[in-house]
Chain A
């Protein structure tokens, strides 16, 4: 079966750097998404990786290693508004999408 693992919760301090890991076991890998979801709101797109390496977008970066079935989301210069859940989602078997259970990040002053 298909499986995605993420830590359930993380905490960090404002201004710090945090790395949220995601490991997956899927067939026919065809890309990995990261979404951000604030409490009570809908998930919104953050990044997409399909090739190995790092994709940088402002304070957020996402890394992928297909051989290891591993990705991480790196958040720099943390702000209070970054307190949210971060969802890892993998496209597999060409057109199927599976979400991880999400990592709840709390940023403290």
Chain B
């Protein structure tokens, strides 16, 4: 079974802090993704990566950056946390882009609150 783990289930940070969210997958997947999920807005893609050292912006990258130094690890960074970044953050991985192989395996999520 594919396992995707995230460093924290719950996190509380102050406005202006730098925040790191870590994600690790154990199935040698090429692709990794970071989403945020908000009521009424669904899952929105922040950043994704199809290879080590590679990253691409998703639909809402502003205020975020990412790092993928190793294939199994994909980190999301909030450079200066703001209250509008309070959300559920979900990491996902998939074997390959395209078609059936694009099935995403999700981590348990990190509920981040910025005060």
Interface positions of A (Cβ within 8 A of B): 8, 30-31, 33, 35, 40-45, 48, 50, 87, 89, 91, 94-95, 97, 99-102
Contact = CB atoms under 8 A, between A and B. Distances in A.
B74 interface: no
A16 to B, nearest CB: 26
B99 A50 contact: yes
A31 B99 CA distance: 6
Given A42-B90, A94-B97, A94-B98, A99 B43 contact: yes
Contact of B104 (A94, A97, A101): A97
Contacts, number: 54
Interface of B: 4, 35, 40-43, 45, 50, 90, 97-100, 102-109
Contacts of B107: 42
A33 B103 contact: yes
Given A42-B108, A50-B100, 14 more contacts: A31-B99, A33-B102, A33-B104, A35-B104, A48-B103, A50-B99, A87-B42, A87-B43, A91-B99, A94-B97, A94-B98, A97-B104, A99-B35, A101-B41
A30 B98 contact: yes
A94 B104 CA distance: 15
B98 A43 contact: no
Contact of A31 (B43, B100, B104, B108): B100
30 contacts: A31-B100, A31-B102, A33-B102, A40-B109, A41-B109, A42-B4, A42-B90, A42-B109, A43-B90, A43-B104, A44-B106, A45-B103, A45-B104, A45-B105, A48-B100, A48-B103, A50-B99, A50-B100, A87-B42, A87-B43, A89-B104, A91-B98, A94-B98, A95-B50, A95-B98, A95-B102, A97-B45, A100-B42, A101-B40, A101-B41
